[in-house]
Structure 1
Amino acid sequence: MANKTVATEASVETYLAAIDPAQKQEDCREICAMMERLSGHPPKMWGPSIVGFGEYHYKYDSGREGDFLRIGFAARAQNISVYLLPGYDDFSDELSRLGKHKKGKSCLYIKRLSDIDVDVLEEMIVKDLKIMQEKYPE
């Protein structure tokens, strides 16, 4: 069974331009530029609503395998979801310094960039990419 969320040819710019309200769109554009700069990969749509950077191939002991983004984000109704795929075990220090946020299984939920320390988010992205590179070399 493959991952249901796959890379598409949809336009990242069209996705970003449709984000409302304007402040959320501005924050998403800033996150997009940050992730592109830090990852060295151009943004790509994954499914209809996730902007991803880079990708990796995974294969579980169960035999399930597929491809997925290394790092990404999505504008959701209530929050901006930032996808930190290694999980949170390695991010306790950064999370304590980040500011107002919530955690999902592999998502960091933020309401707006002004609620957090953007430098700490950048640290987390760099660390995430390093962990992913060690686990899934390109």
Structure 2
Amino acid sequence: MYELKTKETGESVIAFIEAIENERKKADAYRLLDIFTEVSGYKAKMWGPTMIGFGSYRYTYPTGHSGEYFLVGFSPRKAKISLYFATGDHERERLLADFGKHTTGKSCVYVNKVDDIDIDVLKELIRQSILFLQAAYPDQGE
């Protein structure tokens, strides 16, 4: 049986951020922590060893696979900062058009530094992602 590797842990978000060696990346992580906390209304929690997530929801796919994941989050990785928003939401693509310098992967939005992006658009991406997931998975998670 498949086991999801990215789970909420009891590790300290602050200890994780403090361990970041690159000072700019550490400052960006604290800035994102403040923004995500303020906009989402959820307390930051570590998910897996490197992801900081806010809120949660439970999902079940048509295949029967189910699990729990954070609503929105970020990970200050060495190369780039990964931002996690809901996939499948057409509003996400519209908002990303005005987001600033970024690239996208399958489920992530990658930025080099926070100064490269529009903070107001980031806040709207956070709000929209939460609304989208809560509508798709009502009455579940935090």
TM-score by length of 1: 0.94
**TM-aligned CA deviation for residue 95 of structure 1:** 1.3
| Shift >3 Å, 4+ stretches | none
Note the C-alpha offset of 1:86. Answer: 2.7
Separation in structure 2 between the aligned mates of residue 104 and residue 73 of structure 1, nearest angstrom? 14
How much does 1:39 deviate? Answer: 1.4
Distance 1:80 1:119 in 2: 18
Cα distance in 1 for partners of 2:129, 2:4 equals 21
Look up the match of 1:74.
75
In structure 1, how many angstroms separate the alpha carbons of the residues matched to 2:127 and 2:71? 11
Contact 2:89/2:132 (8 A) holds in 1: no
What's the counterpart of residue 34 of structure 1?
Answer: 35
In structure 2, stretches of 5+ residues that fail to align are none
Higher mean C-alpha displacement, 19-28 vs 102-111? 19-28
Paired positions, count: 138
Residue segments in structure 1 that go unaligned for 5+ positions in a row = none
- Give me the TM-score of the superposition, normalised by structure 2: 0.91
2:56 aligned partner: 55
Partner of 1:84: 85
Identity value in percent: 37
Per residue, is there more strand in 1 or in 2? 1
Partner of residue 7, structure 1: 8
Kept in 2, the 8 Å contact 1:53–1:70? The answer is yes
Shift of 1:66: 0.8
Q: Is the 8 A contact 1:2 1:64 kept in 2?
A: no
